[in-house]
Amino acid sequence: MRISAYLATWLTLGACALGSSQSDLPWPAIPKPQQSKSAPEPVNVYPVAVKFGISSDAADNTNALSLTFSKIGDTFTLDYGIAVAGQPLFHVETAEGNPQIEVKYSEAFPGLLNPQSDGPFAFANALAATFRVETYEIKEAGDLTGYFIQGSQRWQSIKMISGKKLVIKQAGFVSSVDQSPLDTFPGYFASSNSTYTDIWALGPRTQQMSCYTPGSQHSTWDITSKGAYIRGQKPASSTRAINLKNYTLSFETMIDRGGTGWRLDTEIDAIQATGPIFILTSEYPAGSFANIDRTLVPPNTLVLGRGWSLQNQTSLPGFVLDKFPLKMNVTEKEWHTILTESPGDGTYTVYLNDQQIAHFNIGSYGLGDPNPYKPGGVYKGFAFGPWQDQAAWVRNVNVTLKTGVNVYSNPMTSPDVLVEYGVHANDQYTCSDAGKRDRYSWLGDRIVSSQVVMVGTSQGEFVWGPANEAFSRQIASGEVPCNTLFSPLDAEGSVIRTTNVDPLLVDYNFDFMQIIYDYWLRSGNDTFLERVWPRMVMSTSWAMSRALDEETQLYGAPQGKRGIPISGEKGQALGPAETVSMILALERMAEMANHLGDHAAADFYKVQAKLSRTAIDTLLWNATAGYYASTIGATGYDMIDIAQVLLANIGSKQRQAQFTDKLSTLRVPAGYINGTRYMDTPGIVNPYYESFLLQGLAVTKRTQLAQDLLDATWGPMVECDRNYTGGYWEYISTDGRYPGLDLFTGQTHFWGSYPTVFLSEYTLGVRPTRPGYEQFIFAPLPGFKTEWVHGRVPTPAGLIYAAWGYNRQGKIVMEITAPKNLHGTIVPPFAGQYTVGKERGRSGNYTFTGGEKLILRED
Ligand SMILES: *[C@@H]1O[C@H](CO)[C@@H](O)[C@H](O)[C@H]1NC(C)=O
Ligand SMILES: *[C@@H]1O[C@H](CO)[C@@H](O)[C@H](O)[C@H]1NC(C)=O
Ligand SMILES: *[C@@H]1O[C@H](CO)[C@@H](O)[C@H](O)[C@H]1NC(C)=O
Ligand SMILES: *[C@@H]1O[C@H](CO)[C@@H](O)[C@H](O)[C@H]1NC(C)=O
Ligand SMILES: *[C@@H]1O[C@H](CO)[C@@H](O)[C@H](O)[C@H]1NC(C)=O
Ligand SMILES: *[C@@H]1O[C@H](CO)[C@@H](O)[C@H](O)[C@H]1NC(C)=O
Ligand SMILES: *[C@@H]1O[C@H](CO)[C@@H](O)[C@H](O)[C@H]1NC(C)=O
Ligand SMILES: *[C@@H]1O[C@H](CO)[C@@H](O)[C@H](O)[C@H]1NC(C)=O
Ligand SMILES: *[C@@H]1O[C@H](CO)[C@@H](O)[C@H](O)[C@H]1NC(C)=O
Ligand SMILES: CC(=O)N[C@H]1CO[C@H](CO)[C@@H](O)[C@@H]1O
């Protein structure tokens, strides 16, 4: 495989950029960060290999990156070497006979073999392409740029589907993410074992792929004087006319290409999508895209669907319920009026230009009914969005009750439509779960990755920014939404959309308090803490009122206010994992309250945390079997419970040891599988849970288990094969051979990224003990197997440079240089005596103040 300059820099920064060797020390000199070349204009990214046909075979790639299509069906595979993101870009040299191309994007190579590639991603309208297959018509030579951002892909295919001849000199992307090379970041880590160097580097790259600066994720709708111009995408909802019964939605639409689409009575930003999907197709005039799926969306037809889209995608079911062929031709480039009546009993009647074209009861199909066990989604409304490769204008939208009262009227020509429908460019720093999908800002999923941000790029704006974004949607109850759109929202949109995710993932509000604590500990940013403190108190109070089961003092989520269980059985008290999330949030709230001088509040948080600690230890411990049960009276245990018990130091050391022994029963080649309570697809390893476990093993100094887990779960992600993306994966198969959740798997996914922190804070061993590293320790995990590690750890006062390794005599040597005024404690990872400078025969901890380099040698 050829390696591009960018990729080469990216890959070699760790182990290969070794700098000068130092004769008396086991490790090469620790490099300084490189000056970052500021690149204000968008950066273009190009493939590292191009191959005729669909092939992941990197061999035989001697020709240039130019693509010559001489007949219909000619196809090229483009390999970018690592996952990239942005608007597709084609430098067209020759275009004869109006060529059309079908372009596919996929993180995993097998996506290219699929008609719908690795999509569609219809979970959220997420300021990116919903569909992973796009069609372009190329009228002339010159540069052509796609409209939508494609959120993450390593692989691309381009197939000519009509036309005579096409030469694309180069295809690529106008990057929508930061492309700064790794060596420009303050954080750094390398090891004699390049596997660890490479694993660490997954962190900053995953951040680049999933964290976005304001304005970088552009709007997916265009507002024009003719109305909203909407290309094929997940329909976006208004929150202005909700939960109506017995009403008519009317609007005018002009199809630019292929068709137009809308939904009614569908859950807004929820984890269900049960209202009807309507796609009205055009007559497909001459010149229409040659690859239209005329079975799925025949011409002159109203296609009725339900669920997330008209296609299935792993855990997002889609249904085609019916197709209503029209007796008339649906013309393009002409205005049509569409009325949809919804009396509220499940029947719908659709009129096109005053003629009835469909009448049905959605329940009669028996597919895609609302799931009463899925929480949230009480607010329903209407939405607009055509199908793949279609585009249409929408204007003069009205909602009128049967009584004649008009409750919504919008010409759709004002720019504030974008905020109303949640499709405005992001105006805050935001972080997605992953580059390609679930492009929502998920609150608790950042509990691990926020630490990675601080340890790697030290770009605190990607922690306080998304935190501000989350707080800007906090509602009067105190709830901070467990997930939210990247688009700015007005107050009305915030109230509806935030309420609509209640009571889903209440524990994410607790995790959010930990995220802020973890940020504060590493940044010492008191200004931020003081500003958000009142909101943190509100959020904690809301989560406590929702989650604490007073009878047991466990996280119990007695039941949602609407009688919906949050998870598990109705009213059932849950087990250690969520309770620990609550305990840690309360204890960290207590620490921050004390720092801010609110000692009374601190006491309340502490006492509550203590009650819940005791509850886990007394109510859940099964003494005969030696484990903490998943719930009261339950038999069986969960990996995540083991992780959380270790992480929060619950119970005695002896109980922890017995519980940890259970891990062996959950072992698979790629790590540990979940226990019985979680909704994970069986037979999948979840790096998010493994992250908690890795941290739990680290804080309790279980080095061997920690290192084994690191190797098992994350080692496969740095194998340089066709599944490599340069980013962390969302899931991994139990055998560690491939991304675990089929083509759906996010492969630049930030939630399970703990190894970057683990390697800096426990392998290298530098971590703060007081906010802003004012006090910190240099405490490598004893017994970690490597010859040497070295790295840089960013602090508000500057960089800490640290290294340790074995000399020729097999003795440990440690080096540290810290900024002035920082107080460090070296905790040697060995028991015997050591020498620092002229001080010989010392043992135990060694405290020092920063300012000069210290070398500690085991005697
Ligand atoms: C590097 O670490 C990996 C994972 O533990 C291990 O498989 C490999 O043998 C190590 N390489 C060396 C040279 O120690
Ligand atoms: C999606 O899967 C469900 C369940 O397997 C099935 O009922 C439905 O027909 C599928 N939808 C499509 C569009 O194939
Ligand atoms: C629809 O268009 C076709 C030509 O594309 C024409 O033959 C037919 O008469 C039209 N039908 C109606 C109902 O206008
Ligand atoms: C809808 O409203 C009309 C007029 O007020 C009424 O006659 C009809 O029963 C209502 N339909 C339903 C399903 O409530
Ligand atoms: C609907 O609303 C638009 C703009 O808000 C208005 O101009 C138009 O007259 C209304 N049309 C109908 C048919 O109700
Ligand atoms: C502290 O956080 C605020 C955001 O609330 C940010 O503007 C500021 O730059 C941060 N300060 C430091 C020193 O990071
Ligand atoms: C303890 O665990 C064992 C084995 O899983 C189970 O049979 C027993 O019922 C449990 N005891 C209690 C009190 O739950
Ligand atoms: C990559 O992932 C695929 C599944 O998507 C799997 O079949 C294959 O074994 C993995 N490894 C390689 C080297 O392709
Ligand atoms: C050394 O420091 C560590 C971390 O702060 C602490 O846990 C340990 O008790 C200290 N050891 C001694 C002997 O003071
Ligand atoms: C080891 C174990 O308990 N695995 C479970 C993981 O979760 C799935 C789905 O709930 C169960 O089927 C497995 O048994």
Q: How far is the CA of 301 from the centre of ligand 3 (A)?
A: 14
Cα–Cα distance between 859 and 521 in angstroms, integer? 34
- Cβ–ligand 7 distance for 665 under 6 Å, the answer no
Instruction: Kindly identify the ligand whose nearest atom is closest to the C-alpha of 467.
Output: 6
Choice from 469, 519, 522, 525 to test ligand 6 binding pocket (greatest atom count within 8 A of CB):
525
- Cβ–ligand 10 distance for 837 under 6 Å, the answer no
Q: How far is the CA of 645 from the centre of ligand 10 (A)?
A: 19
Nearest ligand 2 atom, CA 317? 1
Q: Which helix (H) or strand (E) holds 381?
A: strand 380-384
Nearest residue CA, atom 3 of ligand 7?
625
**Ligand 3 shell residues, CB under 6 Å:** 283, 328-329
Neighbour-count burial for 291-321, b at 16+ CB within 10 Å, e otherwise:
bbeeebbebbbbbbbbbbbbbebeebebbbb
Q: How far is the CA of 681 from the centre of ligand 7 (A)?
A: 26
Nearest residue CA, atom 3 of ligand 4?
402
Nearest residue CA, atom 9 of ligand 1?
193
Instruction: Kindly identify the ligand whose nearest atom is closest to the C-alpha of 636.
Output: 7
Please give the biggest Cα pair distance in the chain: 96
Specify the residue for token string 């005697």: 859
Nearest ligand 3 atom, CA 327? 13
The dihedrals phi and psi of 471, each to the nearest 5 degrees, come to: -65, -30
Write down the pLDDT at residue 84: 98
Token pair in block for residue 31: 């490099």
Nearest ligand 6 atom, CA 527? 1
Residues 636/673, Cβ–Cβ less than 8 Å: no
Choice from 244, 245, 246 to test ligand 4 binding pocket (greatest atom count within 8 A of CB):
246
Q: How far is the CA of 856 from the centre of ligand 9 (A)?
A: 17
- Cβ–ligand 8 distance for 661 under 6 Å, the answer no
Beta strands per DSSP E along 107-246: 133-137, 142-145, 150-162, 165-175, 188-191, 211-212, 221-224, 227-231, 236-237
Instruction: Identify the DSSP state of 619.
Output: I
Domain boundaries in the chain? 5-36+765-858, 45-175, 221-420, 525-756
Cα–Cα distance between 331 and 327 in angstroms, integer? 12
Which pTM does this prediction carry? 0.95
Write down the pLDDT at residue 5: 39
Token pair in block for residue 543: 């989560």
Q: How far is the CA of 419 from the centre of ligand 2 (A)?
A: 33
Write down the pLDDT at residue 570: 40
User: Which fold does the domain 525-756 belong to in CATH?
Assistant: Glycosyltransferase (1.50.10)
Nearest residue CA, atom 14 of ligand 8?
722
Question: In whole angstroms, how large is the CA radius of gyration of the chain?
Answer: 28
Per residue in 465-481, pLDDT (tens digit) is 999 999 999 999 999 99
Q: Which helix (H) or strand (E) holds 656?
A: helix 653-661
Residue 431's DSSP bridge partners are 211
Cβ within 8 Å of residue 327, ≥6 positions away: none
Domain 45-175, CATH: 2.60.120.260
**Ligand 9 shell residues, CB under 6 Å:** 777, 779, 825, 827, 844-845
- Cβ–ligand 10 distance for 734 under 6 Å, the answer no
Nearest residue CA, atom 4 of ligand 10?
675
Cα–Cα distance between 594 and 590 in angstroms, integer? 6
Write down the pLDDT at residue 247: 98
Q: How far is the CA of 737 from the centre of ligand 8 (A)?
A: 6
Cα–Cα distance between 177 and 647 in angstroms, integer? 34
Amino acid at 393: W
Nearest residue CA, atom 4 of ligand 3?
329
- Cβ–ligand 10 distance for 675 under 6 Å, the answer yes
Plot region of 438 (φ>0 → left; ψ -120 to 50 → alpha; else → beta):
left
Nearest ligand 6 atom, CA 523? 14
- Cβ–ligand 6 distance for 523 under 6 Å, the answer yes
- Cβ–ligand 6 distance for 525 under 6 Å, the answer yes
Residue 253's DSSP bridge partners are 336, 394
Q: How far is the CA of 722 from the centre of ligand 8 (A)?
A: 7
Q: How far is the CA of 746 from the centre of ligand 2 (A)?
A: 22
Cα–Cα distance between 81 and 4 in angstroms, integer? 8
Nearest residue CA, atom 10 of ligand 9?
845
Residue 348: name the closest of 398, 277, 399 by CA. Answer: 277
Identical fold, 45-175 and 221-420: yes
Nearest ligand 2 atom, CA 320? 13
Choice from 825, 842, 845 to test ligand 9 binding pocket (greatest atom count within 8 A of CB):
845
Instruction: Kindly identify the ligand whose nearest atom is closest to the C-alpha of 367.
Output: 2
CA angle 570, 572, 577 (to 5 degrees): 120
Nearest residue CA, atom 12 of ligand 6?
525
- The residues of the chain scoring below 70 in pLDDT are 1-23, 38-40, 58-64, 557-573, 675-682
3-state secondary structure of 73: coil
Residues 271/317, Cβ–Cβ less than 8 Å: no
Write down the pLDDT at residue 572: 57
3-state secondary structure of 85: strand
3-state secondary structure of 395: strand
Nearest ligand 1 atom, CA 786? 14
Nearest residue CA, atom 6 of ligand 5?
396
**Ligand 4 shell residues, CB under 6 Å:** 246, 343-345, 402-403
Cβ within 8 Å of residue 679, ≥6 positions away: none
Domain 221-420, CATH: 2.60.120.560
Q: Which CATH architecture fits 5-36+765-858?
A: Sandwich (2.60)
Write down the pLDDT at residue 376: 84
